[in-house]
Structure 1
Amino acid sequence: MTNIIGIGSRAAGLSTYLATLAYHQKHQVKSKKVLSCQVTPMNENTKQLSEQAENILKEQVMLQAGKLYHSFCEHPLYSFTITLEIKGLFWAKNTEEVSFAIYDMPDSLLRDIREFSSSHSFYNDLFSNIGGYFLPIDGTSHRKDEVYAKSLEKFTTDLTQRNPQGCPIAFTVTKCDLSELWVNRDDPRGLVQRRFPKMYEILENWTQEDKGKVEYFTTSSFGVFGKYCEPNSIIQSESGRAFAVIRNTKEWQPFGLIEPLYWLCTGKML
């Protein structure tokens, strides 16, 4: 079981991502070698999250944003098993299973990391017994690249001090059903380099110094639909905060959810 922490940017949709992962039993994977992909919620929290996805997302309302608790262990922990049927030689089929548990942290955490001191017990827990970090970044938040880069620089520096052997980071651009992001969904590294150059530079410098591993991914919890690949999301506003909800529940086909988690668990790309 790989322990993962999800640390996203504001409005990146980490909770929605996890709810979508829990709700859909079968997921699409871009790799042609993967014949099928099954996701199974493993603990009670995750099963309840699957029910929330059906009752909340399908009613076109937003999941409640997570809050920052005093104790790290109070944050929701969801566990999953991903079962892949992979094409082998000739007509052979191989089955592979990966299991992981992921903490759903509030979307203010990445921004607020700069405010934590090294002696803060909550902050230290972010680096304890962790197999990898899932960093979902709102693809439309490129204007905050410099702000997030400063937090990311502190985080990678502290991560190196606490884990000199390195720890993988899956930098994942979300909301890639939007047309401005959809066209670059197959070039995640290039998309990050162009849209988030400061964060990209920090991560690349960190990896080049052999302090850790980074891979880049694109994803959408809602996907696209129709002949012209229309975004399957609607942007709404509430109390001055913009958020996305699903547009067409009958054509709910998320993409890119499995690849970053599989890489964090195995170190291999699909």
Structure 2
Amino acid sequence: MLKSIFKPKINQNLKPENYSGVLRVIGDRAAGKTTYMAALARWPNADFSSPVELVISANKDGEYLIKQAQNLIEKGLQIEQTRLANDVLEIKDYSLRIVLKKSDNFSRSNTVLNLDISCKDYSGEFFSDVLQETDCQLLRDYLNDCFPATGIMLMIDGTTHRKDLEYARGVDKLLVALAGGDILGQKRRIALVLTKCELADLWGNRHRPKFLAEARFPIIFKRLESWQDLGMGNVEYFTTSAFGVTGNKYFKPNSQQIYRGRGGVASVLEDSKKWRPFGLVSPIYWICTGQRNLELDKD
């Protein structure tokens, strides 16, 4: 169904290879979920050497993301946090196509790879509050909406390591609920995505996401690894930055910090002309294909 609505303006001689995925983005209020999605849809100042050819919105919700990026992020303003929907049908469903040059010698290839995604980002209240309920219709509605997803992006502000135990409880609840409602025995892919990695205490280990996840969030890491060892699904680890950095030799976060505390970091974009996000496509590629593309993890 998605194929018919995507008409990318690229070389017609290129041979397309198509993958698709239904994603759910879950995380605390401060994780930057919608900012991540808006930066992805906007895909600003793309590097010519990047495997990503372009990102195209495919529905009104996808267009909404681009407007959020243009009207708020690029003007140095914050995107409003997603409010908890009392009806899951009200949650925006972002449809995007990500077009990549073929990863093997991509600069010379005449083949492109299309990632067609349908993605919802749940309000932070779902992760912090609703998941803690034991008998709640709203929780059941959200989980029923989550069951068809082929992959889950568990998004965490990389600076919130002091909330590791608290987050782990939410992860436990989510994993148990998904297992209990999955009558088809579907093996999901869960990408643990650390955000805000333009910050100095995270940037240095951006190319070691598994190490960084275990070092900063050892309890969550252990829970996810145990879930994977039991054969329930697959887990992979990623580092991202919606704002990126500036500088060639000495890197500086391309963000202005508004607040920093136990609950995370709140920032706005500093220089829109130098706005180049980092690592946004890598977890989506893995969820859609089951393989890691190391080119997407490069700066």
Q: TM-score, normalised by structure 2?
A: 0.83
Cα 1:89–1:18 change in 2 (3 A) is closer
1:171 and 2:187 are equivalent in the alignment: no
The whole-number CA distance in structure 1 between the counterparts of 2:186 and 2:60 is 33
| Residue 104, structure 1, aligned to residue 121, structure 2 | yes
Separation (CA, whole Å) in 2 of partners of 1:221 and 1:168? 22
Q: What is aligned with 1:190?
A: 211
C-alpha change, 1:160 and 1:88, in structure 2 (3 Å) is same
SS class of match (2:102):
strand
- Please name the residue that 2:16 is paired with: none
**CA distance 1:35–1:165, change in 2 (3 Å):** closer
1:2 partner SS: strand
2:282 is aligned, of 226, 240, 259, to 259
Q: What value does the CA root-mean-square deviation take over the aligned residues? A: 2.3
Q: What amino acid does structure 1 have at the position aligned with 2:224?
A: L
1:76 offset after TM fit, Å?
1.2
Segments of 5+ residues of structure 2 without an aligned counterpart are: 1-19, 294-299
Which residue identity does 1:229 align to in structure 2? F
Offset at residue 89 of structure 1 (A): 6.6
Alignment partner of 1:216 is 2:232: no
Residue 256 of structure 1 aligns to a residue in which SS?
Answer: coil
State whether structure 2 residue 53 is matched by structure 1 residue 37.
yes
CA distance in 1, matches of 2:175, 2:94: 24
Matches within 5 A, 1:131-146: 131-146=150-165
Whole-angstrom distance in 2 between the partners of 1:152 and 1:89:
38
Alignment of 1:35-114 (within 5 A): 35-88=51-104, 91-114=108-131
Q: Deviations over 1:86-135 (max 9, x none)?
A: 25479543211110110021122222244233663323324331111111
- State the identity %: 34
Q: Are 2:36 and 1:17 aligned?
A: yes
In structure 1, the residue matched to 2:296 is none
Look up the equivalent residue of 2:78 and give its one-letter code. M
Paired AA for residue 109 in structure 1: F
Task: Name the CA distance, whole Å, in 1 between partners of 2:265 and 2:292.
Answer: 33
The structure-2 alpha-carbon separation of the partners of 1:27 and 1:122, relative to structure 1 and needing over 3 Å to count, comes to farther
8 Å contact from structure 1 (residues 37, 85) kept in 2? yes
1:25 and 1:39 in contact (8 A); partners too: no
In structure 1, list runs of 5 or more residues that go unmatched. Answer: none
Q: Report the number of matched residues.
A: 266
| Paired AA for residue 203 in structure 1 | L
Give the match for residue 117 of structure 1: 134
Q: Structure 1 length as normaliser, TM-score?
A: 0.91
Distance change in 2, residues 1:206/1:22 (3 Å):
same
CA distance in 2, matches of 1:176, 1:158: 30
